[in-house]
Amino acid sequence: EFAAPEHPDAAFSSSNEKLNRIYDAAKQTYRQNALDVFMDCPSRERAGWLCDSYFTAIMEKEFTGYSKVAHNFYENYALPEKFEFLPEGMIPMCYPADHNDGVFIPNWSLWFIVQIDDYAKRGGDRQLVADLKTRITDLLAYFEKFENEDGLLEKLESWIFVEWSKANSLVQDVNYPTNMLYSAALQSAARLYDNEAWQMKADHIRSQIQKQSFNGEFFVDNAVRKDGVLRVTDQITEVCQYYAFFFNIATPESYPALWKKLTDEFGPHRNTAITYPQVAVANAFIGNYLRMDILSRYGLQSQLISEIEEYFFYMAERTGTLWENVHSQASCNHGFASYIGHVLYRDVLGISNIDYENKKIVLRFTDLDLEQCSGSIPVEDEVIRLEWKRVDNQIQYRLDVPAGYEVTIENRSKNQLVDLDKISTYRQG
């Protein structure tokens, strides 16, 4: 079998068989795309791309208990003195797989910084993170020459990639989703290497995007310079809105009307011919995945379950794997898509967060249309196990965690929590 080993302690089961099938598809998608490095897809290219690997790396940690493939993948970016065929400071979009035609995706290099930040948070090799400081510093220096008078990136080179949708045709001259990502990358770099100047730049870019891109109803995708003047267009995509919320340009509190539109009128059931037809629809990569995280972040787990089924069950049913796009015309086994396993662990099972560095676990119970759920996540050679069931007005649960881990329990449901091992009850609030 040409696949990553299946860890027996990576498990998920619930009273919703569709969710179970989606989890199994996520695991198989991961296994077939995570051997020596993270891969795009076995059918088209066995090579590792940035951005995709942000999502796959999270699943490696939760499906295997380690970040060995992630270490290999990121170490590849630390080892070379320079990268052939690329401008000074730029890194490959896909490596090790040099594109000797000189093509690169500037956005993917920004995702690299976000990925290293996430890798560090999940207990990654501190020496490797330190070794990448010069690489990241040089990368950010590359982008400085594209900053316009407002501090926003303008007229980037090569293949600017936002999403497989209309968004990819709206990338010049100033692309606001790219600048949202730029702000997040600067913030990640500032956090990694304690650089206040990068944090200040991130904050300034965020402010400029809020000032320029939001038209009173939606965030607009781009601005075009004509006769020396930068003019915001009227082009709007669904994924641009998700970038804004995912990268903290917007919050439900700061943009309540937009948030209500996105949660009530967008999603898998939107009739794009009738409901905001001027807003181009998002695709699986990466808009629908960003949507999953945004709904989770702001406590809409019940809605999330329904949307997971609508977005992903037909994929699991047809191929037993998860796809690159909402349609089957491209890869039907795409490594990044395994990330839905993380969503199921976090938002359905209720293992909301694992702080590997400080050995802290957060459980979050919410009101879900489920009778029971159980699952486990390997943590190196140990395991976190959680199972729960609804009985009358109670959620009865059992939890096992590795020695030395501190557990915080958040009860956001209407039920009482009953620890079946300790026979102690946690009340809401």
pLDDT in tens, 415-429: 999 999 986 444 444
Residue among 247, 252, 242, 248 at smallest CA distance from 219: 242
Question: What is the rounded distance in angstroms from the CA atom of residue 405 to the CA atom of residue 428?
Answer: 23
Q: How many CA atoms lie within 13 A of 21 on its CB side?
A: 16
* Phi-psi label, residue 364: left if phi above 0, alpha if psi -120 to 50, beta otherwise: beta
Burial environment of residue 422 by CB neighbours within 10 A (0 to 12, 13 to 18, 19 or more):
exposed
Q: Any idea what DSSP says for residue 6? A: P
Q: Specify which residues 223 forms β-bridges with.
A: 174, 232
Question: What is the rounded distance in angstroms from the CA atom of residue 1 to the CA atom of residue 147?
Answer: 49
Of 339 and 41, the structure prediction assigns the larger pLDDT to 339
pLDDT band at 100 (very low <50, low <70, confident <90, very high): confident
The chain-wide mean pLDDT, for the chain, equals: 95
Question: What is the rounded distance in angstroms from the CA atom of residue 249 to the CA atom of residue 371?
Answer: 37
pLDDT tens for 285-306 read 899 999 999 999 999 999 999 9
Rg (CA), the chain: 22
Question: What's the confidence (pLDDT) of residue 425?
Answer: 47
pTM: 0.95
The torsion defined by the Cα of 319, 320, 326 and 332, in degrees rounded to 10, comes to -60
Question: What's the confidence (pLDDT) of residue 428?
Answer: 47
Question: What is the rounded distance in angstroms from the CA atom of residue 373 to the CA atom of residue 347?
Answer: 11
Contact 156, 181 (CB under 8 A): no
Q: Any idea what DSSP says for residue 50? A: T
Structural domains in the chain plus CATH codes: 16-349 (1.50.10.10)
Q: For the ranges 17-31, 66-80, 298-312, 317-331, which has the lowest average pLDDT?
A: 317-331
Question: What's the confidence (pLDDT) of residue 43?
Answer: 72
Question: What is the rounded distance in angstroms from the CA atom of residue 342 to the CA atom of residue 60?
Answer: 10
pLDDT at 324 over 80: no
Question: What's the confidence (pLDDT) of residue 424?
Answer: 47
Question: What's the confidence (pLDDT) of residue 325?
Answer: 65
How are the residues of the chain apportioned to helix, strand and coil, as percentages rounded to the nearest 5?
40, 20, 40
**Count of other CB atoms within 10 angstroms of residue 290:** 21
> Is residue 397 classed as helix, strand or coil in its secondary structure?
strand
- Look-up: residue for tokens 């969503």? 343
pLDDT tens for 343-397 read 999 999 999 999 999 999 999 999 999 999 999 999 999 999 999 999 999 999 9
pLDDT tens for 7-65 read 999 999 999 999 999 999 999 999 999 988 888 888 766 678 999 999 999 999 999 99
Contact 409, 399 (CB under 8 A): no
pLDDT tens for 135-153 read 999 999 999 999 999 999 9
pLDDT at 97 over 90: no
Q: Which residues of 317-327 are buried (b: 16+ CB within 10 A; e: fewer)?
A: eeeebbbbbbe
Residue among 23, 10, 4 at smallest CA distance from 382: 10
**Count of other CB atoms within 10 angstroms of residue 8:** 9
Contact 96, 76 (CB under 8 A): yes
